[in-house]
């Protein structure tokens, strides 16, 4: 059936929006629930050749080959978030990481495994940039919200950290918001310490800072960890830059030698991921 020209013209803005490179203003929150990622299930998006959904790890923090494994946040589940989904500083003004995301006008198929450059617009991070890959989503996220995956950021509604790492029954710190001091990170598992310190060092303890954002090609250093690369869509999705980047540290804010070594090991081993129910629907805590 052929549609009248007037109808086609009326629908054109919707087609353009679906294909457009995402950008706008947004807000951030934080979480770390240790559950399998929504983008870790198969058939969520069209993948680049040789790529996979976001990887999950077993309780031993080693990547799983079964992308159909049930989330550890459900009874009998074995798939958890990998420790190398933690954020890390590339320089004093640039960092990489992962997030649960909802973008206005899009769907999970348009943002799963996409990367976004976040530029912070509120103190104390004004001008700093964080590039995140979307590994998760959630129906309880509002439009243009980036729920940053930061160890110790709060488990929210679902908690796989007690099963995976032996965390307290409501996770580390408050259920929503997580730990409140850098020293609280000292008791974390070694693989998560650097990511927890990141929040109080590079991130300066900021509480849900505002951002502007734009979709960008993922840095190869991020996709080397997640294993997920989208097929070309609104942009050329080919990963850019080196597949391994050093973790920037400065003075007293530097990670301990042990946690730094863990980060470097994880970069080489690859892996990642995050959370969702057995039906593949993302679950996220908002704070």
275: tokens are 């959370």
For the residues of 238-258, what is the DSSP string, one character each? --BS-S--PPP--GGGSPPHH
Residue 16 located in a structural domain = no
Residue 237 located in a structural domain = yes
Quote the strand ranges of the chain, DSSP E. Answer: 23-31, 88-89, 94-102, 115-120, 129-136, 145-149, 210-216
Residue 126 located in a structural domain = yes
| Kind plus residue range of the DSSP H or E element containing 107 | none
Residue 253 located in a structural domain = yes
CB 37 within 8 A of CB 228: no
Domain ranges, residue 107: 22-269
CB 240 within 8 A of CB 220: yes
Please state which of the ranges 56-70, 100-114, 269-283 shows the lowest mean pLDDT: 269-283
What's 38's domain CATH number?
Answer: 2.40.40.10
Residue 107 located in a structural domain = yes
pLDDT confidence band for 22 (50 / 70 / 90): confident
What is the rounded average pLDDT for all residues in the chain? 84
Report, as residue numbers or ranges, the catalytic residues: 33
Residue 150 located in a structural domain = yes
Q: What is the pLDDT of residue 285?
A: 39
pTM to 2 decimal places: 0.81
Angle at the Cα of 17 (from 112 to 209), degrees rounded to 5? 60
Q: What is the pLDDT of residue 4?
A: 58
The distance of Cα 30 from the centroid of its chain, to the nearest Å, equals 10
Residue 9, pLDDT > 80, answer no
Residue 227's CB is within 10 A of a number of other CB atoms, namely 21
Residue 133, pLDDT > 90, answer yes
What's the pLDDT tens digit per position in 179-226? 999 999 999 999 999 999 999 999 999 999 999 999 999 999 999 999
Burial classification of residue 248, based on how many CB atoms lie within 10 Å of its CB (0-12 exposed, 13-18 middle, 19 or more buried)? middle
Residue 1 located in a structural domain = no
How far is it, in rounded angstroms, from Cα 78 to Cα 172? 21
How far is it, in rounded angstroms, from Cα 234 to Cα 228? 17
Residue 39 located in a structural domain = yes
User: What domain count does the chain have?
Assistant: 1
């Amino acid at each position: 059936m052929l549609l009248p020209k007037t109808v086609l013209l009326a629908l054109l803005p919707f087609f353009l929006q679906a294909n457009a490179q995402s950008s706008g203003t947004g807000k951030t929150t934080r979480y770390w629930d240790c559950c399998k990622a929504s983008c870790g299930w198969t058939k969520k998006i069209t993948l680049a050749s040789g790529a996979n959904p976001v990887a999950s790890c077993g309780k031993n923090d080693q990547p799983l080959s079964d992308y159909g494994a049930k989330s550890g946040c459900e009874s009998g589940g074995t798939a958890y978030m990998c420790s190398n989904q933690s954020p890390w500083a590339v320089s004093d003004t640039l960092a990489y990481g992962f997030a649960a995301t909802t973008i206005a006008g899009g769907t999970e198929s348009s943002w799963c495994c996409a990367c976004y450059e976040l530029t912070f617009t509120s103190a104390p991070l004004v001008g700093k940039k964080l590039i995140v890959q979307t590994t998760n989503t959630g129906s309880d996220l509002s439009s243009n919200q980036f729920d940053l995956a930061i160890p110790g950021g709060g488990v929210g509604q679902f908690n796989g950290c007690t099963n995976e790492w032996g965390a307290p029954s409501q996770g580390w710190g408050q259920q929503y918001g997580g730990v409140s001091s850098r020293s609280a990170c000292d008791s974390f598992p070694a693989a998560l310490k650097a990511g927890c310190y990141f929040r109080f060092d590079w991130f300066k303890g900021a509480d849900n800072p505002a951002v502007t954002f734009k979709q960008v090609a993922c840095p190869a250093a991020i996709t080397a960890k997640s294993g997920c690369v989208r097929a070309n869509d609104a942009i050329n999705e080919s990963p850019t830059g080196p597949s391994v980047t050093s973790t920037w540290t400065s003075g007293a804010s530097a990670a301990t030698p042990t946690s730094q070594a863990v980060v470097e090991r994880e970069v080489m081993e690859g892996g990642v991921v995050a959370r969702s129910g057995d039906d593949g629907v993302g679950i996220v805590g908002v704070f």
